[in-house]
Structure 1
């Protein structure tokens, strides 16, 4: 079992370019696992954790409904956003500037083979990070992600999750709203759930600008603890 995780901050990157990079890393791990099985070798599989910030983009998961995107192609151009159908679970999600997006590309054979536990650990990483800002993040039954004030008329989502897994290798991940322009959520039905609001860290903390790098470091601390991982920070490459 290899619990080393290479951490790379890709900065501000186009969604499709990053998706292709994810696919490359994902396939390298899958191919190595297949080789190990066929040849009886025990080569260690790598793990990756990518941080990135995307230009405005809407992505629709495999189980999503296109009607949850409320703008057409011409309107997308007007608001400077792109739209992709992708191969993760879940419905529609928005990514944009001021949002911390994390893509753990892990071989869960190195940690635990339980997708449910994996999703709960990602949520817990975010919940523990929010607690450091004196916010009580919560899970909402039947709705993946992290919320505030669950069970009240003021319930609002602060972090979306959507993953893909094959042969226990993961890709895609989470999107935590930090200094995000929440107006872009008006052009979609977030995660296909009507009448549910969204929020961000800076809105919850009185609209002050939040240090994004500080948030990333807090997330990594909790990721390391939860997954009992050894983090190795590396230079970005796409």
Structure 2
């Protein structure tokens, strides 16, 4: 089992361009898995991508289009794009000030359990936020990371949506750090009505160093997955 994870920080990158790149890495790993049947010595790759997207709304494969509250013209006016994509979950927003992480892993290198995979991603975020004195938790039946679950003040700080096929993952999480939360007013986030969205900046009442947060997430990811992070930036 190959527990080495190639890490790449793509910086600011168009959503569709990044999605295509994810698909390319995903297909590469699947081909490695097929070749491995004939030659068991072949190792399958794992990747962890960080990226920041320009304003974009994405709708999961089972999502409801009516949860986007903007017309095509209004999207254009806001400088935002929209894509219906092949991950789980409903609608979400990505934009500047948000840390987006895409682990593209062969889970057969770690464990073959999608539920556990999602819980580990959530735990990496929960542990990271705890380092800033922020107490977050899971909400039963609602993937992601939340504050004050079960109260009228429940609010989500990190959304998650993944795709997995042949135990290879893609897509991932989006943590609101210094993001403009006004863009969430144009959707029903994750299709869940009546629950707010928040950010580290709002909760801490100050700008947060995004590079520092990235390093903390990566540290906890590495510990939880017993992975070895290999810098693969060009």
Task: Specify the TM-score bucket, using the shorter chain as the normaliser.
Answer: over 0.9
Q: How does 1:119-134 map to 2 (within 5 A)?
A: 119-134=118-133
Give the 5 Å matches for 1:60-71. Answer: 60-71=59-70
Equivalent residue for 1:34?
A: 34
Counterpart in the other structure of 1:211: 209
Listed as ranges, the matches of 1:45-56 within 5 Å are 45-56=44-55
Give distance in 2, aligned partners of 1:63 and 1:133.
34
Partner of 2:24: 24
1:25-66, CA deviations, whole angstroms, 9 ceiling, x for partnerless residues? 0000001101222x2433000100000000000000011000
Any idea what SS the aligned residue of 1:52 has?
strand
Q: Secondary structure at the match of 1:204?
A: helix
Aligned partners of 2:216, 2:40: CA distance in 1, in Å?
37
Q: State the superposition RMSD in angstroms.
A: 0.7
Counterpart CA distance in 1 for 2:44 and 2:222 is 18
Structure-1 residue corresponding to 2:221? 223
Return the TM-score normalized by structure 2: 0.99
Of 28-37 and 74-83, more deviation after overlay is shown by 28-37
Distance (whole Å) between structure 1 residues aligned to residue 16 and residue 42 of structure 2: 30
Inter-partner Cα distance in structure 1 for 2:7 and 2:154: 33
Helix, strand or coil: the match of 1:67?
helix
Residues 72-99 of structure 1 show CA distances to partners (whole Å, capped at 9, x for unaligned) of: 1000001110000000000001000000
Is 2:36–2:43's contact at 8 Å kept on the other side of the alignment?
Answer: no
Separation in 2 of the partners of 1:102 and 1:40?
31
Specify the alignment match of 1:8 in structure 2.
8
Could you tell me which runs of 5 or more consecutive residues in structure 2 were left unpaired when the two chains were aligned: none
SS of residue matched to 1:145:
strand
Aligned residues: 234
- Alignment map for 1:94-173 (pairs within 5 Å): 94-173=93-172
Name structure 1 gaps, 5 residues minimum.
Answer: none
What corresponds to 1:92 in structure 2?
Answer: 91
TM-score using structure 1 length: 0.97
Please give the secondary structure, in 1, of the residue aligned with 2:44.
coil
- For residues 183 and 34 of structure 1, the distance between their equivalents in structure 2, rounded to whole angstroms, comes to 45
Is residue 43 from structure 1 mapped to residue 42 from structure 2 by the alignment?
yes
The answer on whether the counterparts of 2:157 and 2:200 sit within 8 Å (CA) in structure 1 is yes
Conserved? CA contact 2:138–2:144, under 8 Å? yes
